[in-house]
């Protein structure tokens, strides 16, 4: 399995978002959702290379949990967009 690495140079502070415009918040939420979906895909691929049955199962459960979280983020985004 090929390895995939990429940097994560994004802040996780919470101070600036109170002042952000609604458009900026929507853009950030959309970015975060896409970012999370990408990581879920990567984790799913990684899980297929794990031979230990218990670890394999836990990784798939984690992917499922990320999927559920991403569905909630997508629903919130749709509400905020007025969809």
pLDDT band at 83, cuts 50/70/90? confident
Nearest-Å Rg of the Cα atoms of the chain is: 16
Contact status, residue 48 vs residue 57, Cβ threshold 8 Å: no
Looking up tokens 């952000």 gives 20
Tens digits of per-residue pLDDT, 37-74? 999 999 999 999 999 999 999 999 999 999 999 999 99
The model's pTM is 0.72
Q: In terms of DSSP H, where are the helices of the chain?
A: 22-48, 53-81
Q: Half-sphere exposure of residue 12, counting CA atoms within 13 Å on the CB side?
A: 2
Contacts of 45 (CB under 8 A, 6+ apart): 1
């Amino acid at each position: 399995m090929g390895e995939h690495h990429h940097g994560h140079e994004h802040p996780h502070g919470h101070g600036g978002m109170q002042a952000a415009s609604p458009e900026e918040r929507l853009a950030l939420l959309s970015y975060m959702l896409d970012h999370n979906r990408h990581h879920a895909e990567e984790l799913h691929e990684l899980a297929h290379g794990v031979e230990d049955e218990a670890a394999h199962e836990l990784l798939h459960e984690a992917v499922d949990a990320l999927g559920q979280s991403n569905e909630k983020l997508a629903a919130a985004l749709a509400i905020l967009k007025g969809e």
